Amino acid sequence: MSVQTAVMGVSGYTGAELIRLLSRHPRLQGAAPMLLARAESAGGVVGALHPGMDDALGTGRLPVEPFAWETLAAHGVHVLFLATPHESSRELAPEAVERGLRVIDLSGAWRLEQDGNRAVYGFRDEDPVRMAAAQKAAVYGMPELHRAEICGARLVANPGCYATAAILAMKPLLAAGVVDRDGGLICDAKSGVSGAGKTPTATTHFMHAGENLSAYGLFTHRHVGELLEQLDVEREAMTFTPHLLPIARGILATSYLRLQKPMTQQQVDAIFAEFYAGSPMVRLREAALPEIQHVVRTNYCDIGWKVSAEGRRVVVVSCLDNLLKGASGQAVQNLNVMMGWGEAEGLA
């Protein structure tokens, strides 16, 4: 089957990574992704936005066309990737689905099922009934947790980068029922500056971020709701603290869990091995703790852990590239699952 993809929102880091991955995907050869932008930003070629796209494949010469539903229909687009702001994705995704497209949205517009968690985005839906129906149909796009649902989904909500690192680290032990939830869960996570997007701010420009390490978003970060819903824990049980690292890309998350009863390193090893059997984008390092340099520019999430001497505490370290497994790479992984292709095709 020939699949035509389209990317709406090509100027940012995630849009650029999507274009690179889709242009080289072995299943999409001969069907270059269609690149779209708002009318005022369209025109020209993508190489003008991202000079690194100029390659032997001609990727840099792909035109950036004005977004229009008629244009997508004329090009026979099957799958629409939305690398757009949350509010734009909230507007575009329902109509895309109604028009027969399958959507993979990289924003936070559709990740959260509960109104209380979604309130952090401040959406003001003009048609709440329509939006509620779209939200109910949306599938959280983490293949390691929801592979079967993603396969038949019309709307996939790509997870947040921090959320991916934290959820993949903690989910196996929580799912196995061995965590003392009353003891609380702590995740201390650090991300490269690209996680904040392409537009610089007072805290992300070089003079502030360089040679610095800072915490932010305590108790208020947008990804907390994803942790609560996907890990099935109460808000008061979760402490998540993000930090800004003075590097371009990569996330390292350290999660602290207390066990209900003493366990050995080998017992915990077995839980992770069983949970991630058949998940090609997760590499288990066990007691050899992962590092950002081992995952940057890959779609892997590396996970390592250590059980304390008394067997009641576990520290789990997870690493990923925030622009790939934390964004565009995971979006392509979701495409593979939706299409019934090998999950790691075009990624490993």
Helical packing angle, 265-275 and 161-175, nearest 10°: 120
Say what the pLDDT of residue 41 is.
Answer: 86
Say what the pLDDT of residue 118 is.
Answer: 95
Residue 15 is part of a domain; what is its CATH number? 3.40.50.720
Residue 17 CA, chain-centre distance (Å), reads 13
Residue 269 above 70 pLDDT?
yes
Residues 243 and 270 occupy one common structural domain: yes
Reported confidence tier of residue 1, pLDDT bands at 50, 70, 90:
low
Does the annotation mark 301 as catalytic? no
Residues 12 and 52 occupy one common structural domain: yes
Residue 345 lies inside a defined structural domain of this protein: no
Residues 196 and 257 occupy one common structural domain: yes
Residue 257 lies inside a defined structural domain of this protein: yes
Q: Rounded mean pLDDT of 141-149?
A: 98
Q: Rounded mean pLDDT of 141-150?
A: 98
Residue 296 lies inside a defined structural domain of this protein: yes
In whole angstroms, give the CA distance from residue 261 to residue 154: 42
In whole angstroms, give the CA distance from residue 169 to residue 231: 10
Residue 9 above 70 pLDDT?
yes
The answer to whether 272 and 284 have CB atoms below 8 angstroms apart is: yes
Residues 134 and 271 occupy one common structural domain: no
Per residue in 13-47, pLDDT (tens digit) is 999 999 999 999 999 988 999 999 998 889 999 99
Mode of pairing for the β-strands spanning 34-37 and 5-8: parallel
DSSP single-letter state for residue 159 = P
Written as six digits, the tokens of 8 are 């709406």
The answer to whether 253 and 161 have CB atoms below 8 angstroms apart is: no
The position carrying tokens 């907390």 is: 224
Domain count, the chain: 2
Per residue in 154-202, pLDDT (tens digit) is 999 999 999 999 999 999 999 999 999 999 999 999 999 999 888 888 8
Written as six digits, the tokens of 158 are 């790509």
Residue 344 lies inside a defined structural domain of this protein: no
Q: Rounded mean pLDDT of 324-343?
A: 98
Residue 82 lies inside a defined structural domain of this protein: yes
Say what the pLDDT of residue 348 is.
Answer: 81
Say what the pLDDT of residue 198 is.
Answer: 87
Range of 243's domain?
161-320
Q: How many residues does the chain have?
A: 348
Catalytic hit among 161, 187, 301, 319: 161
